[in-house]
Structure 1
Amino acid sequence: MGNLATRSEATGTGRAEAVRASIRRHGEILRHPEGYPERLVLRSLAYVYAAYALGSRTATAELDAHLGRHRGSRRPSPDVAMGMARGFQRMADGTA
């Protein structure tokens, strides 16, 4: 059973790093949105806002970098951020 626990822990660590890498990729799109399709930018906004709302420190840093491009913008509360994520996702899907 020790091996199973070790394997499980390693998989969890790998997943966490994969999520952080995904958040960083979406953050990169938000830092340089020119040239990306609008739909992809909206999906990136949805992803980063949702991850921030769920407490991701990586997403918080990416959101701060994104909001730094907009004068006077501040981070929303997690509840508002989740609503914004849903709205951005609907816009990306064309259902908003």
Structure 2
Amino acid sequence: MDIMQVVKPLVCTCRHEGLLQSSLRVLRDSSGKFQVAVDSCSSRPGNWVYVVSGSAARYATGEFATLTDLTVGGIIDFWEEESGQTEQAV
């Protein structure tokens, strides 16, 4: 699992049927690289999320038939990018 930040939603009107009607998000990792993930948590731009990758990403969607190798597994309550520290949101 990795921690990434949601940049924006990705809208694709024409897509492979294996993606079903999954919501897609553009994410940025700590090195600034962009990736696309299926969003199972209704994340919003600016949210810090943890992602599940590889074949486990299919299970994280709740529908194993979904064709994905990266899925948002949860929204992090608080994350300081500079220090990599987490705290409970107040």
TM-score > 0.5 by shorter chain: no
**Between structures 1 and 2, the one with greater helix share:** 1
TM-score class, shorter: under 0.3
TM-score scaled by structure 1?
Answer: 0.25
Which structure's residues are more often strand, by fraction? Answer: 2
Q: Structure 2-normalised TM-score?
A: 0.26
| Higher Rg of the two aligned structures | 1
